[in-house]
Structure 1
Amino acid sequence: MADPMSVPTYQATCVSGEEAECGEQSEAAFSVAEREQWIEDHFLRTRHARYLHTVSDYRVVLPGEWP
């Protein structure tokens, strides 16, 4: 189950590029809107249009509750 004491974070990595991926990454954001703003800003600067979205959170496993 999700750890109720944690907050998920959202990140984007630019994977656009002809010969190699750009690789620039956003900071870990606490909302999808912050991540999307970074993507928009990066796109406007670079015209790169392909991104990997990552969501990170913490999980808690309690004895007897793992499938």
Structure 2
Amino acid sequence: MTRAVMRFVPYKTAQDVTAAPTYEAVCVSGDVEDCGEESGQWLTPHPVEVWMRAHRADTGHGRFRRAFVDYAEVGRAE
């Protein structure tokens, strides 16, 4: 009979500080279909907010899906 030893290995997830996160928004206003206009990706949230205000002023649209994307590293916890 073979015996197996199972061990719990703790892992941790942390933001990868060597990679810059990105911010973006998409207009999801519309009755039947979403507008779909996009802010593009930026390295800070401010340009996205400026774009959303300008899009609101130009179109009257006021509903957006915002995204913050970062990178993560997973490794063994010490």
User: One fold, TM greater than 0.5?
Assistant: yes
As a proportion of its length, which structure holds more helix? 1
Question: Gapped runs of 5+ residues in structure 1?
Answer: none
Moved beyond 6 Å, runs of 4+: none
Question: Gapped runs of 5+ residues in structure 2?
Answer: 1-13
Residues 1:18 and 2:31 are matched in the alignment: yes
Q: What is the TM-score of this pair, normalised by structure 2?
A: 0.77
Report the Cα offset of residue 12 of structure 1.
0.3
Q: Distance in 2 between matches of 1:25 and 1:60?
A: 28
Q: Distance in 1 between matches of 2:54 and 2:30?
A: 17
Q: Distance in 2 between matches of 1:45 and 1:6?
A: 34
1:53 partner amino acid: R
Instruction: Indicate the residue corresponding to 1:52 in structure 2.
Output: 65
| Percent of pairs with identical residues | 34
Q: What is the TM-score of this pair, normalised by structure 1?
A: 0.89
